[in-house]
Amino acid sequence: MELLLAGFVGVLVASGVYLMLRARTFDLVLGLTLVSYAVNLFIFLMGRLAVGRPPILDARLAPTLANYADPLPQALVLTAIVISFAMTALLLVIALATYAETGTDHVDGQEPRAPEDRG
């Protein structure tokens, strides 16, 4: 199961990087969103997969630390979700303002010229 989830994180990162290298602002925003999802999943997976275990230590379970789920990755992911939502909203506002100013969604602000027009 861990190998499957690690592969999924890799696919998300690869897709996000590919989209971030595109020349359109919407692709950039979508790529950053996919990379933030991959980072959230990576942080969550670093806390070990523990199903049905309590996240808080009990005095009776204290000698065996393997009987609880680590709450720190869950708290980090929750914070990262809020930050990535704010980052995506800010990037969308910047992309829309840039599109309104330049009339194009190309990251350079100019459409690339066709090969026959370059001469």
pLDDT, tens digit (0-9, with 9 covering 90-100), for 59-99:
665 556 566 667 788 888 999 999 999 999 999 999 999 88
Q: How many Cβ atoms sit within 10 Å of the Cβ of residue 104?
A: 14
With both helix axes pointing from N to C terminus, report the angle between 25-46 and 71-102 in degrees, rounded to the nearest 10. Answer: 180
Q: Does the pLDDT of residue 32 top 90, yes or no? A: yes
Give the pLDDT band of residue 2 (cuts 50, 70, 90).
confident
Percent of the chain with pLDDT over 70: 75
Q: What angle do CA 12, 13, 18 make, to 5 degrees?
A: 100
Domain range for 24 is 2-117
Give the per-residue pLDDT at 98. Answer: 87
Cα–Cα dist 20/79, whole Å: 23
Instruction: Please say if the pLDDT value at position 118 is more than 80.
Output: no
User: Once rounded to an integer, what is the mean pLDDT over residues 4-28?
Assistant: 93
Q: What is the pLDDT of residue 46?
A: 83
Q: Report pTM.
A: 0.76
Does position 115 have pLDDT exceeding 80, yes or no?
Answer: no
What's the CATH number where 29 sits? 1.10.287
What band does 23 get if pLDDT is binned at 50, 70 and 90? confident
User: Measuring CA to CA, which residue among 81, 112, 107, 111 is closest to residue 94?
Assistant: 107
- Domains: count for the chain: 1
Residue 65 CA to residue 48 CA, distance in Å, equals 13
